[in-house]
Amino acid sequence: MAIGYQSLFNDNDSVDKANTHKIYDVIIVGSGVSGSFMAKELVDAGLDVLLLEAGEFFSRTNFPKKEIDANSKLYWSGGIEFNKSADLAFLRPKVVGGGSIVNQALLDRFDDMALDSFKEQSGVSFFTKESMQPWYEKAESEIHQEVIPKEHRNKNAEIFAKGFEENNYLYDSLTRAQKNCAYEEGNDCIECLSGCRRDSKQSTLITTLKSAINNGLHMKSLFEVKNIVHKTDEVRVDGIHLKREYESFRAKKLVLASGAMGNSKLLLNSGFKKSLPALGQNFYSHPQFMVLGLFKEQINSGNGPFQALKSADPNFRRKGFKLENVFAPPVGISMLLPGHGEEHQQLMKKISHMACIEVAIRDTNPGSIKTNRHGKMIIDKKLNEEDKKRKNAGIEAINNIFSSQGAQRIIEGNLPIGLHLMGGLGIGERARFSVVTPDFHLHGYKNIFAADSSIFPNAPGINPSLTIMALTKMAASKVFR
Ligand SMILES: Cc1cc2nc3c(=O)[nH]c(=O)nc-3n(C[C@H](O)[C@H](O)[C@H](O)COP(=O)(O)OP(=O)(O)OC[C@H]3O[C@@H](n4cnc5c(N)ncnc54)[C@H](O)[C@@H]3O)c2cc1C
């Protein structure tokens, strides 16, 4: 048993004691945002649930302290993955709690533009503000949220705010799932990217997953599901524990919550493509481009709440991009900077003088997820001309902001990164063009469900987590019905 359990949860001998002989009511694959919310709902409904997670269990007592260790221990493939042409990077969490451990916990409801385009593409009638509202409310009731207070904005946020004002752009404060960050004590939220060591960030470890485990959820970490076998009234999952022990588990129903790439890979490798032709299609990632402004004075962008503000300009939304003030730890920044050797080193020495704004685009060019004959995942995802136009419009706005604030130099980061991995199992009415039905089960498979980021039919251009939570709540009632 990992150390983390002892400090976080009540004595619970169901943790890491999964039973290969019994038939569970439900098995959930993946303990991220969706998996944790699903687990709580199902356990609360009295079901016997097993949660399988490929990543390790960490908690505030043992989250990796060094950035380099966090990358390799909390993410798939040693920290970073790439598309086929190696010009777009992806960060895919692999840890108990999934994205909620490493993400920035910024929460937004979808606007009409996002919901309308989901509805139009999927034909699913509940993608309206009215239908989603009760589910957003239920999701929000699980997590404490705070707007970053103005008095704690750091210098990077001030540059963002002043630059927006001088260019007549509109901005707003970010809302974050957090509690008692105590900035006045000198806490820096950038550390939360490796897991929050004060339990201030409201990851699922301290919200839904904690509650589910304390109420009898069975969980097995370090278990990668490799194969799914569907039978009429039972589902079997086969996988590997600690990369060496093969085990199989059975349940009446299966919930796939291993994210856009995880779900697609698993179903493709289990032979579902023949019956689900749209499997692996329509993959999106909100590619983001970080732009650094080099200033004469020290900015210390990583101090305090390192993200506080977002664009709220209807023009930006119409043009398909959003801006946020942001920063990254040193290894991340070093990957963004140009040059090699001495030139790169000299720039890195100025890290405390760098402000940073990211442009994230609402990508329009659908990618695809495939696997080769060895089961290895291949991501075909490129920016099309429209995507590049969106990126360039965002970068132009950032240039205006930094220039108006006296930046000595503006550096466009080397590497676009997709953090919001979405699609592959798109939801929709028609089996030919979608994978998941409006009742959240796979077309043709009434006992296999999904409600995580994989079911997004396209890119909303808005932080996805809150909507994943809301959809998962909605889906849970279909699983235990
Ligand atoms: C650095 C970063 C910052 C972000 N910031 C924000 C933000 O501020 N706001 C926001 O809304 N979103 C943010 N996101 C995105 C957000 O975290 C994701 O959209 C969200 O976590 C997706 O939820 P999910 O349940 O679909 O999958 P995940 O949370 O990714 O969970 C999937 C889980 O399944 C496990 N898994 C995968 N395959 C298998 C398998 N075969 N067997 C067993 N387990 C498996 C994985 O290890 C993982 O733990 C951020 C992401 C990153 C990386």
- Which domain CATH number covers 453? 3.50.50.60
Phi-psi region of 395 (alpha: psi -120 to 50; beta: other; left: phi over 0): alpha
Element at 199 (helix H, strand E):
none
Same domain, 377 and 345: yes
Same domain, 138 and 9: yes
Task: Please state, rounded to an integer, the average pLDDT across all residues of the chain.
Answer: 95
Amino acid at 62: N
- On whether residue 77 sits in a domain, the answer given is no
Give the range of the structural domain holding residue 468, as residue numbers without chain letter: 1-58+108-142+203-284+422-481
Which of these three, 394, 419, 444, is where a domain ends? 419
Evaluate if residue 10 carries a pLDDT over 60.
no
Same domain, 407 and 349: yes
Q: What is the mean pLDDT of residues 450-472?
A: 98
- Residue 81: CB within 6 Å of ligand 1? no
Same domain, 279 and 400: no
Same domain, 313 and 426: no
- With contact defined as beta carbons under 8 Å apart, do 395 and 359 qualify? yes
Q: Can you say whether the dihedral through the CA atoms of 267, 110, 34, 183 is positive or negative?
A: positive
Query: Tokens representing 286?
Result: 């909100």
- Residue 225: CB within 6 Å of ligand 1? yes
Q: How far apart are CA 271 and CA 344, in angstroms?
A: 47
- Residue 103: CB within 6 Å of ligand 1? yes
Same domain, 129 and 256: yes
Residue among 397, 425, 303 at smallest CA distance from 355:
303
Amino acid at 271: G
Q: How far apart are CA 209 and CA 215, in angstroms?
A: 10
Q: What is the mean pLDDT of residues 454-466?
A: 98
Q: What is the mean pLDDT of residues 157-172?
A: 98
- On whether residue 321 sits in a domain, the answer given is yes
Provide the greatest CA pair distance for the chain: 67
- With contact defined as beta carbons under 8 Å apart, do 387 and 363 qualify? yes
Local structure of residue 13 (DSSP, 8 states)? T
Dump pLDDT digits (tens) for 325-351.
999 999 999 999 999 999 999 999 999
Which of these three, 419, 435, 452, is where a domain ends? 419
For residue 169, what are the contacts with CB-CB under 8 A and spacing of at least 6?
Answer: 163, 311, 313, 315, 316, 397, 401
- With contact defined as beta carbons under 8 Å apart, do 392 and 412 qualify? no
Q: What is the mean pLDDT of residues 157-185?
A: 96
Residue among 178, 109, 175 at smallest CA distance from 137:
109
The residue among 478 and 8 whose pLDDT is bigger is 478
pLDDT of residue 79: 95
pLDDT of residue 144: 96
Evaluate if residue 363 carries a pLDDT over 60.
yes
Q: How far apart are CA 380 and CA 282, in angstroms?
A: 10
Sort 263 into a burial class: Cβ within 10 Å, 0-12 / 13-18 / 19+. buried
- Residue 418: CB within 6 Å of ligand 1? no
Which of these three, 372, 401, 419, is where a domain ends? 419
Evaluate if residue 180 carries a pLDDT over 60.
yes
- On whether residue 154 sits in a domain, the answer given is yes
Q: What is the mean pLDDT of residues 360-377?
A: 97
- Which CATH number is 193's domain given? 3.30.410
Same domain, 405 and 350: yes
Q: How far apart are CA 448 and CA 143, in angstroms?
A: 28
| Candidate of 226, 258, 335, 449 to mutate for ligand 1, largest count of ligand atoms within 8 Å of Cβ | 258
* Distance from Cα 313 to the centre of ligand 1, integer Å: 28
Evaluate if residue 3 carries a pLDDT over 80.
no
Evaluate if residue 376 carries a pLDDT over 50.
yes
- On whether residue 404 sits in a domain, the answer given is yes
Among 12-26, 117-131, 214-228, name the one with the lowest average pLDDT.
12-26
pLDDT of residue 172: 97
User: Residue 23: what are its φ and ψ, rounded to 5°?
Assistant: -110, 110
pLDDT of residue 5: 47
- On whether residue 76 sits in a domain, the answer given is no
pLDDT of residue 21: 85
Residue among 473, 466, 475, 477 at smallest CA distance from 442:
475
Q: Band the pLDDT of 103: cuts 50, 70, 90.
A: very high
Residue 246: CA count within 13 A, CB half-sphere: 3
* Distance from Cα 37 to the centre of ligand 1, integer Å: 13
Interstrand relation of 49-52 and 23-29 (parallel, antiparallel or unpaired): parallel
Same domain, 280 and 291: no
CA-92 nearest atom, ligand 1: 53
- On whether residue 395 sits in a domain, the answer given is yes
Same domain, 241 and 252: yes
pLDDT of residue 17: 67
For residue 304, what are the contacts with CB-CB under 8 A and spacing of at least 6?
Answer: 152, 153, 154, 183, 187, 188, 189
Q: Band the pLDDT of 244: cuts 50, 70, 90.
A: confident
Nearest residue (CA) to ligand 1, atom 14: 103
List residues bridging with 15 in a β-sheet.
219
Q: What is the mean pLDDT of residues 171-178?
A: 96
- On whether residue 192 sits in a domain, the answer given is yes
Query: Tokens representing 59?
Result: 């908690």
Q: How far apart are CA 207 and CA 139, in angstroms?
A: 11
Q: Can you say whether the dihedral through the CA atoms of 330, 335, 341, 345 is positive or negative?
A: negative
Same domain, 375 and 439: no
Dump pLDDT digits (tens) for 271-328.
999 999 999 999 999 999 999 999 999 999 999 999 999 999 999 999 999 999 999 9
Same domain, 386 and 452: no
CA-35 nearest atom, ligand 1: 25
- With contact defined as beta carbons under 8 Å apart, do 220 and 248 qualify? no
Q: How many domains are contained in the chain?
A: 2
- With contact defined as beta carbons under 8 Å apart, do 98 and 32 qualify? yes
Q: What is the mean pLDDT of residues 416-441?
A: 97
* Distance from Cα 71 to the centre of ligand 1, integer Å: 14
Residue among 169, 219, 469 at smallest CA distance from 321:
169
Same domain, 2 and 48: yes
- On whether residue 407 sits in a domain, the answer given is yes
